[in-house]
Structure 1
Amino acid sequence: MPVPEMDAATRTELEAAAFRRLVEHLRERTDVQNIDLMNLAGFCRNCLSRWYREAAEQKGIALADPDAREIIYGMPYKEWQAKYQKEATPEQKAKFAQSHPGH
């Protein structure tokens, strides 16, 4: 089935809705660690918050990293870390080192 024709405003609305759903999903899935996301998908919540900040900057909006992270995490990053972040296992660290050399 071909992709339906749509105007730019509609496309932007759909993209924004998909983004909001992704953020909501990541907020709900606190069991999924950032290192798991990096190892499987090559990005994590921190990447998403950085992309958000960069998009804001392109529009001339100053947004600090902690504020962008709070938008994505739904709470201050330090609070999320304290509540949900676990120490990465040796296996997770090895996989990360293999897939992201020099990171």
Structure 2
Amino acid sequence: MNDFEPNIAVRQRWMGVLARAGDALDAHEAALKDSAYQLIRAPEVGMTLVRGRMGGTGNAFNLGEMTVTRCVVRLADGRTGYSYLAGRDKRRAEL
């Protein structure tokens, strides 16, 4: 583990909170945008294949496709952040 990697469980919990925040995150957008960062890959919309299993344990099958938005940023301290979210919200993917 290097100096940039926080405790993985703590990071996963906070990423889950941010992912479920939805419109509540908008009130804090200005504070989040004040952080110095560089866009490595600007927000872009694409498609991904969703797979499923009958009963959760059966053979895998292709359920369908869904739109996703992704973005990659590099913070001023060198850490890189990756965002993938369901839908077409480019602004939220950049947050």
TM normalised by structure 2 equals: 0.33
Structure with the larger strand share: 2
TM normalised by structure 1 equals: 0.31
